[in-house]
Amino acid sequence: MLRIFNNDISNPDKFVVTLELVPKRESGGLSTDALINIAKDAFADGRISAVSITDNPGGNPSLSPDVLGYEIFKHGMDVIVHFTCRDMNRAGMESRALQLARMGMKNILALTGDYSGKGFGGQGSPVFDFDSVILTKMLHKLNERLAASEDPDGFFTGCAVSPFKTTEAECEAQYRKLDRKIEAGASFIITQLGYDVDKFQELITQNRIKGITTPVLASVYMLSPKAAKAMNRGKVPGVIVSDSLCNRIIKEWENSKQEGLSQAIERAAKLAAILKGIGYNGIHIGGIHRSFKAVGKILDRMAIIEHNWQDYLEEFRSDDKNCFYLYKKYDYKSSDIKKSENNVNEYIYSEYIASQDNIPYTLKDNLFDHYPYLLLKQLHELFFNRASKLSPIYKAAAEVIDKNNKAWILKTFVEDPLKKLFLSCKSCGDCGIQHIAFQCPESGCPKHTRNGACGGSRDGFCEVNKDKKCIWVRAFNRLKKSDKIENLSKEFVHPRMWELNNTSSWINFHLGRDHQKE
């Protein structure tokens, strides 16, 4: 097993560089050969700690990262395998994890994953049995089993975060989910890709304030006009390329391909220099498909310009007046700067500027969101609070109903009609509404997330159901209006128990059968 990436990222003096490779829908051929050659050249270059390999990006089938990774791994190059929750249930995921461990590939980037794309015969069924927090926890627990079976090198699991969210609710949802990922065992963080330096800074500031010391790699992407247009139109979930940046890139490539390419290298080198300057532990380079050459040029150029990183800041500041920032933007030229113990620039914490005002709810919001929330909260408090005096009575009643096999009557005539009306309940028998401000993760979230938002939302709306607000945005707004934001990042939420499907969740709760059992 190779420990290059693990060792490098654990060294606070090392600025780590990783490289993302995207396999295509083929088992061999030119594009696969190109990826192998990029990895070989990266190894020979010596500045790359690992290549990371995507897992069916966009939800579309492609060559497995496990097999491509293993081939690269045998050449001596360390590999990070992307591992998503979209295509397999928990049995398949655990089996895949064991297979990776057996192959010695234990650097995992645990992701919820993009929604299902198209394969043979149309769109595939989305599994999402776990979310990325649960997957991280599973890998963490598996490490104990590996150790017990005389395999002491456990999984080295990382997570993703997007600081590039434009609304307060999405920012908070992302950062609070990050807390849960770290709590579940994530040992490194890779950002989503973006071009707003104040957003990159926001993540670093936020981590410092919370005392999060987990190393962070920032994504730096070589943008071609095709990729820029797709990202600008929102075709790549969670990625934002502004109109002005997109237009600039189109123009650069229009003049000549050569100019477009050298501008892309220059932009990537400048951004990388800034990210090193503001305290990132490394960069994660993407957008490389044909040869390693551009990566070498980015790193060479970065080495030349990195001492002047502050000169390039203005190129990477957004002019979007509607974008929300958690903190006041830094004036990098001011004296708000000090050196940390390991000689990295640290900025004095900036002022928190999140609005503390109540969300201006309209009458419609109150009628269809706030009041139903208050009602469900009250009912939950009354009927499903184990600390209440009535709880033993409910438990005794549940025992009688269950013993007489009459739970179906309660479910069919009372529970189902009420829960379908308020929650579009899917009868999973293991209710998780209390974790998401009384919304259903089964009916409300296409990825069934139980521990926080996926990275795919855009301006508050869902990656999949683009006309609907993300349930975590609604959860934040509900909790904020009720002054209970702290409930957004609470304890780890266990996965749904499928053995309870189509049974009464009320009976299951009171008999201690569901995921909340004590």
User: What are 472's two structure tokens?
Assistant: 């975590």
384 is an interface residue for ligand SF4 by CB under 6 A: no
In the complex, the smallest distance separating the C-beta of residue 181 from ligand SF4, rounded to whole angstroms, is 14
In the complex, the smallest distance separating the C-beta of residue 265 from ligand SF4, rounded to whole angstroms, is 33
170 is an interface residue for ligand SF4 by CB under 6 A: no
User: What are 371's two structure tokens?
Assistant: 């009041």
Residue 39 vs 464, nearer CB to ligand SF4: 464
CA distances (Å), 121 to each of 27, 118, 282, in order? 20, 8, 41
Binding pattern for the stretch 420-459 against ligand SF4, x by CB under 6 A and - elsewhere = -------------------------xxx-x---xx-xx--
In the complex, the smallest distance separating the C-beta of residue 468 from ligand SF4, rounded to whole angstroms, is 7
- CA pseudo-torsion sign 500, 505, 507, 511: positive
Which residues, 460 to 479, sit near ligand SF4 by CB under 6 A?
462-464, 470-472
Beta strand 79-84 with 107-111 is parallel
In the complex, the smallest distance separating the C-beta of residue 112 from ligand SF4, rounded to whole angstroms, is 8
In the complex, the smallest distance separating the C-beta of residue 345 from ligand SF4, rounded to whole angstroms, is 34
Which residues, 309 to 338, sit near ligand SF4 by CB under 6 A?
none
Nearest of 162, 104, 365, 437 to residue 445 by alpha carbon: 437
169 is an interface residue for ligand SF4 by CB under 6 A: no
In the complex, the smallest distance separating the C-beta of residue 234 from ligand SF4, rounded to whole angstroms, is 12
SS3 annotation, 304-344: HHHHHHHHHHHHHCCCCCCCCCCECCCCCCCCCEEECCCCC
In the complex, the smallest distance separating the C-beta of residue 351 from ligand SF4, rounded to whole angstroms, is 29
* 97, 99, 105, 110: CA torsion to nearest 10: -20
Residue 472 vs 476, nearer CB to ligand SF4: 472
Residue 17 pairs in a beta bridge with: 283
Residue 175 vs 347, nearer CB to ligand SF4: 175
Binding pattern for the stretch 69-98 against ligand SF4, x by CB under 6 A and - elsewhere = ------------------------------
In the complex, the smallest distance separating the C-beta of residue 446 from ligand SF4, rounded to whole angstroms, is 5
Contact 227, 221 (CB under 8 A): yes
Residue 17 vs 445, nearer CB to ligand SF4: 445
139 is an interface residue for ligand SF4 by CB under 6 A: no
Residue 32: other Cβ atoms inside 10 A? 17
Residue 66: other Cβ atoms inside 10 A? 17
Residue 401 vs 453, nearer CB to ligand SF4: 453
Nearest of 56, 58, 78, 59 to residue 69 by alpha carbon: 78
Residue 134 vs 204, nearer CB to ligand SF4: 134
In the complex, the smallest distance separating the C-beta of residue 172 from ligand SF4, rounded to whole angstroms, is 13
Distance CA 3, CA 133 (A): 24
Residues that contact ligand SF4, how many (by CB under 6 A): 14
161 is an interface residue for ligand SF4 by CB under 6 A: no
178 is an interface residue for ligand SF4 by CB under 6 A: no
160 is an interface residue for ligand SF4 by CB under 6 A: no
Contact 195, 222 (CB under 8 A): no
Please name the residues in contact with 268: beta carbons below 8 A apart, sequence gap of 6 or more.
220, 221, 222, 285, 298
Distance CA 156, CA 153 (A): 9
In the complex, the smallest distance separating the C-beta of residue 110 from ligand SF4, rounded to whole angstroms, is 16
* Residue numbers at the binding site for ligand SF4 (CB under 6 A): 445-447, 449, 453-454, 456-457, 462-464, 470-472
